Amino acid sequence: MRFAVSIVVALLTLLAGILLSGAGHGWVTGSTGAFVLAPIAFFASRNALAPSPSPRIAWAVLVCGLATCAWVAIHTVMEGGEHFFPYFRINGVMGASVAVLAVLGWLAPSLWGLVRVRGRWHRTGMQAGATHLTGSKRTTPPR
């Protein structure tokens, strides 16, 4: 089930990339970003839906996704809005919803995975630097 949901999220991100490209006349930088975000969306979904999400994967996915979005923003500014503004002027709300789908396809599962990791830490007393009693020994959780 986790795999199927993750595949669907990644495929929707790929579809957003195809729609953003507009046969080469659309927002090509955004389309390239969506293609890079597809595997990130896959791993974010897999981790968020896991019974015990990995904090390392959650943070790695978040950092990679933010770096990709920053790359898209920088290159969109470098191309001077030549494709960005006409894309949204022609496609309107539907174009904006496709761009939002490309971003939320990785961001929502990534943040959900981080929230689940944080919730697990609080339930088990594994906050950074915290100590807890396990049996008769006092231990410090791994960082």
- CB 42 within 8 Å of CB 49: no
**pLDDT > 90: percent of the chain:** 39
Per-residue pLDDT tens digits for 54-88: 999 999 999 999 999 999 999 989 988 778 888 88
**pLDDT reading at 92 higher than 50:** yes
Tell me if residue 114 falls in helix, strand or coil. Answer: helix
Which comes out higher in pLDDT, residue 90 or 119? 90
Kindly tell me the burial class for residue 88, based on how many C-beta atoms sit within 10 Å of its own C-beta (0-12, 13-18, 19 or more).
middle
pTM of the complete model: 0.76
Task: Dump pLDDT digits (tens) for 25-58.
Answer: 788 888 899 999 999 999 999 999 999 899 999 9
Domain locations in the chain as residue ranges: 2-139
Query: Residue 143: pLDDT band by 50, 70, 90 thresholds?
Result: low
Q: DSSP for 83-97, please give it.
A: THHHHHHHHHHHHHH
Query: What span, in angstroms and rounded, lies between the C-alpha atoms of 128 and 86?
Result: 48
The length of the chain is 143
Q: Higher pLDDT residue, 12 or 140?
A: 12
Mean pLDDT of the chain: 83
Higher pLDDT among residues 71 and 95, named by residue: 71
Residue 99: its pLDDT value, please?
Answer: 86
